[in-house]
Homo-oligomer: A and B are copies of this chain.
Amino acid sequence: MARRGRRGATLQEIAQETGVSVATVSRVARGVGQVSDDTRRRVLAAIERHDFRPSPLGRGLAKRSHGALAIVFPGLSGPYYSEVMGGFEEEAMRAELAVVILGTHLLRESGQLVRDTAARVDGLAVMGGVLSDDVVDRLRDRGDPVVLLASGPRAGIPTVRTENVSAFDRLTRHLLVDHGYDRLVFVGDPDSSPDAAYRWTGFGQAHRYAGAGTPASPVRVGLTQSDGFIAMDRLLDAGPPPRALMCANDETAIGAVLALLDRGYRVPQDVAVTGFDDIPMAGLPVSGLTTVRQPMRELGAVTAQVLLREIDGSGPAAVDHVLETHLVIRGSCGCGTT
C-alpha cells in the first residue's frame, strides 16, 4: 500500500516560508487575533500561492469538533427527501458545517453504521422510522446530539415534524362530507413510518367525525411510486375499485393514478385519488393531484437549527416543533369535474 499522504501545504510550511510562527499563520488564515498589516500580507500571499487549506483533521482534533452534521434517511430516493436535505444543507452551510448524508440502504447492521458515522460528526438528525428506538437512545446516552425528524414527540429528544393528523383529517372529511364519497381506502403502512401512522390516524378520525363507519384496513405498502402502482393493481384485481383512494404520499398517489389510467379507469370520475407532500409532479397532471402541502425545505432547515442549538448546548433540552401544513385542492379528488 502506497503512501496515502497529505495533499497540499501545512501551516508549518507556510510559516517556514514566510519566516513567522505557525501560530501567526493560523491566526491569519482564520482572520482572528492581532496581526500587523505587513505580516498579514506576506502570510496571505504564501497561503494563496500554496493554495493552503487547514486540515480538517488537525483542526477537528484541536477544536474537539468535526465541523460536520449527519442526516440519516431511509434511502435517498425521492423528491421529498431531496427537498428536506436541501433545507438542512443550506442551514448547515450557513454555520460552516459539512453535511454527511447517511442513507440506510444496506442497513443490515445499521446500528453499527450509524454509530460509526456518529463518531465523525458533531450531531445527527434522524428521520422517523429508520432507526429503532434503542439505537437512538444509545446515541443519546453516549452524549451525541440527536434530533428526530418527521417523528415524535419523544421524551428527552428534540423533534421536528409537520402537522399530519389534522391535515389528513380535513382532507378525508373533504372526500367524505363535501364529495359524499363512501368506500375510501388508505394506501400506506402505518407501522413503517411515523408519518404514515399520523395520516392513518387522521383518516380514522375523520371517519368517526363523519359517522362513516369503520374504514377498510389500509393497503400496507411502502412509499414509492412502484408501491402505489402495485397497491392499485392489487385492489383492482381483488374486485371493483374503491370510490376514492387516499395515499400516504404523492408518489404512491401518482403510481396509483398511473395504474388506473393504464387499465382504462378515469381519475377522478371513476376513482378519486389524493396524496400528501405536494411534490413538484403533483401539480402537473391535467387534473392536478389533490394533496397536502408540507414545508419540506423548512422542515430540513428547522431541523438543522435545532440540532445546532442542541450541539452548542443553548436552548431547552428537548422540544417538539410542529410545522404547519395546508390542503391543496386540485382536480384529482373530483373538484372541478362536471
Contacts and interface: CB of A to CB of B under 8 A. Distances in A.
Interface of A: 1-8, 51, 53, 55-58, 60-61, 63-66, 68, 75-79, 81-82, 85-86, 89-90, 93, 98, 100-101, 103, 105-106, 113, 115-117, 119-120, 122, 142-144, 224-226, 229-230, 233, 254-255, 257-259, 261-263, 280-281, 284-287, 311-314
Kindly list the 8 A-B residue pairs having the minimum CB-CB distance in the complex, ordered from nearest. Answer: A2-B313, A261-B261, A7-B143, A4-B65, A101-B101, A77-B82, A57-B60, A86-B105
A122 B6 CA distance: 9
15 contacts: A3-B64, A4-B65, A4-B122, A5-B64, A5-B143, A8-B119, A8-B143, A57-B60, A77-B79, A77-B81, A85-B105, A98-B120, A100-B101, A229-B284, A261-B261
A34 to B, nearest CB: 21
A95 B117 CA distance: 15
A121 to B, nearest CB: 10
B66 A76 contact: no
A338 B238 CA distance: 27
Contact of A85 (B61, B76, B93, B144): B76
B225 A281 contact: yes
Contacts of A57: 57, 60-61, 66
A8 B76 contact: no
Contacts of A55: 61, 119
B226 A8 contact: no
Nearest to A90: B106
A68 B230 CA distance: 38
Contacts of A3: 64, 313
Contact of A116 (B61, B98, B287): B98
A89 B106 contact: yes
Nearest to A62: B57
B4 A285 contact: no
A6 B98 contact: no
Contact of A101 (B76, B258, B287): B76
Contacts of A75: 82
A283 B64 CA distance: 51
B280 A262 contact: no
A8 B142 contact: yes
Contact of A63 (B4, B78, B224): B4
A56 B120 contact: yes
A286 B257 CA distance: 13
Contact of A119 (B53, B225, B226): B53
A261 to B, nearest CB: 4
Contacts of A8: 119, 142-143
Nearest to A61: B57
A39 to B, nearest CB: 26
B1 A230 contact: no
A64 B4 contact: yes
